[in-house]
Amino acid sequence: MKRSLKILFPGLLAAAALGGCEKFVTGFDVNPNLPSAASTSLLLTSAQVATGLQEETGAMRVSNIWAQQFTGVSRQQLSLDGYQTLASDYDNDWSTVYLYVTNNARLAEAGADVDKNPLVKGIAQTLEGLSVGQATALWGDVPYSEAFNPAIGKPKFDAQKDVYASMQTLLTDAATNLAKPGASPGAADIFFAGSGAQWLGVANTLRARYYLHTRDYANAAKYAALGISAPANNMTFTHGTALGSNQNLLNSFLNNDRPGDLTADGAFATKLLASGHNNAKTTETGRLNYFYAKTFPNGNAILDYEPNITNGAFKIDNSYPMVTFAETQLVLGEAQIRLGNFSAGLAALNAVRASHTGSGSLYTANGAVKYDAYTADDFAAGGMAVYGAANANEALLKEILTEKYLSMIGQIEPFNDQRRAQPLAGGSVLAKSLIGVTPKTGAMLPQRFLYPQIEITTNPNTPAQLAADLFAPTSVNK
């Protein structure tokens, strides 16, 4: 596994860094860096490593700054913290989606068809679903139906709802393929070594994620129940200790690439963990210390917090979570409470809380933890988990979303929730998230990524945009 990462990872980083000069939506079949003659196994590994890049680099940092889990304090990160951003800021993220993940996944799917190997095809389809689904969540309308047709030089942008529908179709087909026998890709699958059952869990969790995005709560609950069944089945990007090769990517950014540009000074997440989310059944010290460390400028007074790169979530060899049991259960919990099923929603929340204290807990080595099971009384009037909510259902919904926000620090999905998750009674999320995040500047929270300059320059079908469009909700969030 780590041998594959060491070989492919630097090349992908270099290609991504040079990506702003090229058109990445069409013409992939002739790209010299990605020859179509490569073996199916190599294409699969390449798509998987690129998926790690997509989830763990630029898009993740922007999402976490805007969800106030991190704080930008210098250069580009400082501008992002104040909601100042340019189309060119998203060139690498866009090219990673279209060139390095989805193009390689498509080529691997074609190779799997030639090999008559439905298992590998299902894995590649799941990677495509993760990549393009994340793209439409962040940008809204994106190219998809025409994006990989070499006869179409300037692909149209499909409506966001249509892209989500296409992802459901794709992931349904992936699930069918993953349930069939096939030759295992073995070590070429850096995530699960060819386990169709584990990949099926990921595909179903992604289906649940996207149904939640589009507010189809019945299907979100249905597929979450079929999703990742235990933390041991999480999809994580494994890292090692080789600098510039296989290390944790945020660790690389903070230690090597842009030291001092990103902290957690004043971040909303640190305030929740330090005091705002502790009660008689909850002690967050271990989780706070897992994700964050105190900053000691010049060895003197404590300043604030920064991401923990020493012995926590972002240390050099710590794996990066991409699709997890915690997310699966919390999607299930939210979907159930929105369907009016309080007990089922509470059970899903308690399943995640229990996972924080077991033998596989991430947090216990970093300090005291307590996550006792909640009861219905805790969300009734005067209960310890009400936190100002109007009623028990609203209180449980807020707690589920808060747990998800804190469980997924350093991931993209809390930003998607921030723009989507309204109270049960409805209402705008432009000025305040349901868990309490408010704008750093101005009156509105960011609502989308800007379309990248590489696409604006080369594809006349790119929707016109202004800087103010940063605050315009995507169509599924209106």
In this predicted structure, what is the pLDDT of residue 35?
Answer: 44
Q: Are 287 and 363 within 8 A, CB to CB? A: yes
CB–CB of 50/15 below 8 Å? no
How far apart CA 100 and CA 45 sit, in angstroms, is 11
Give the pLDDT of residue 7.
Answer: 28
Tokens of 239: 């890292």
Q: Which tops the pLDDT comparison, 444 or 13?
A: 444
Q: What is the pLDDT confidence band of residue 183, given thresholds at 50, 70 and 90? A: very high
Is residue 316 very low, low, confident or very high in pLDDT (cuts 50, 70, 90)? very high
Tokens (6 digits) for 254:
């903070």
Cβ-contact 5, 240 below 8 angstroms: yes
Q: Which element (helix H / strand E) includes 452?
A: none
Query: Residue 153 half-sphere exposure, CB side, CA atoms within 13 Å?
Result: 2
Comparing C-alpha atoms, which of 278, 267, 288, 269 is closest to residue 387?
Answer: 278
pLDDT at 389 over 80: yes
DSSP line for 241-290: S-TTTTS-HHHHIIIIISTTSEE-TT-HHHHIIIIIT-BTTEE-HHHHHH
**Binning pLDDT at 50, 70 and 90, where does residue 24 land?**
very low
Counting residues of the chain whose pLDDT is more than 90, the rounded percentage is: 84
- What is the CB-side half-sphere exposure of residue 182 using CA atoms within 13 A? 25
Nearest to 98 by CA among 61, 142, 161: 142
93 and 167 Cβ atoms separated by less than 8 Å: no
Indicate the residue type of 340. Answer: G
Are the CB atoms for 109 and 174 separated by under 8 Å? no
Neighbours of 261 (CB within 10 A): 17
Greater confidence, 360 or 56? 56
State the pLDDT at residue 48: 97
User: Which residues are CB-contacts of 421 (< 8 A; sequence separation ≥ 6)?
Assistant: 334, 401, 429, 433, 434
pLDDT reported for residue 22: 32
Q: Which domains does the chain have, with CATH numbers?
A: 2-470 (1.25.40.390)
Task: Provide CB contacts within 8 A for 312, sequence distance 6+.
Answer: 289, 290, 291, 292, 293, 318, 366
Cα–Cα distance, 478 to 475 (Å, whole number): 5
Helix (H) or strand (E) holding 72: strand 71-72
Write the pLDDT tens digit of every residue in 136-164: 999 999 999 999 888 998 999 999 999 99
The amino acid sitting at 222 is K
Element at 307 (helix H, strand E): strand 305-307
Contact 59, 134 (CB under 8 A): yes
Is the pLDDT confidence value at 379 over 80? yes
pLDDT surpassing 90 at residue 115: yes
CA triple 323-378-271, angle to 5 deg: 60
Please report which confidence band the pLDDT of residue 243 belongs to, taking 50, 70 and 90 as the band edges: confident
- What value does the mean pLDDT take over residues 190-206? 98
- For residue 11, the model assigns a pLDDT of 39
Please state which of the ranges 90-94, 294-298, 388-392 shows the lowest mean pLDDT: 294-298
Average pLDDT over residues 453-478: 95
Task: Give the mean pLDDT of 240-251.
Answer: 91
Query: Which amino acid type is present at position 128?
Result: E
* Confidence at residue 18, expressed as pLDDT on a 0 to 100 scale: 30
Report how far residue 403's alpha carbon sits from residue 353's, in angstroms, rounded to the nearest whole number.
Answer: 8
Task: Quick: pLDDT tens for 246-259.
Answer: 999 999 999 988 99
What pLDDT is recorded for position 302? Answer: 57
What 8-state DSSP symbol labels residue 158? B
- CB distance 63 to 90 below 8 Å: no
State how far the Cα of 277 lies from the Cα of 270, in Å rounded to an integer. Answer: 10
DSSP for 79-92, please give it: HHHTT---GGGGHH
- Mean per-residue pLDDT of the chain: 91
**Where does 102-159 have alpha helices with state H?**
104-115, 118-139
Nearest to 133 by CA among 177, 97, 179, 105: 97
pLDDT value, residue 319: 97
Q: Crossing angle for the helix pair 196-213 and 413-420, nearest 10 degrees?
A: 30
Cβ atoms of 352 and 326 within 8 Å: the answer is yes
* Residue located via tokens 């069409």: 26
Residues in the chain: 478
Residue 266 burial (C-beta neighbours within 10 Å; 0-12, 13-18, 19+): middle
Q: CA distances (Å), 41 to each of 27, 55, 125, 269, in order?
A: 22, 21, 14, 40
Say how far apart CA 213 and CA 453 lie, in whole Å.
26
d(CA 284, CA 461): 48
Rounded to two decimals, the pTM is: 0.92
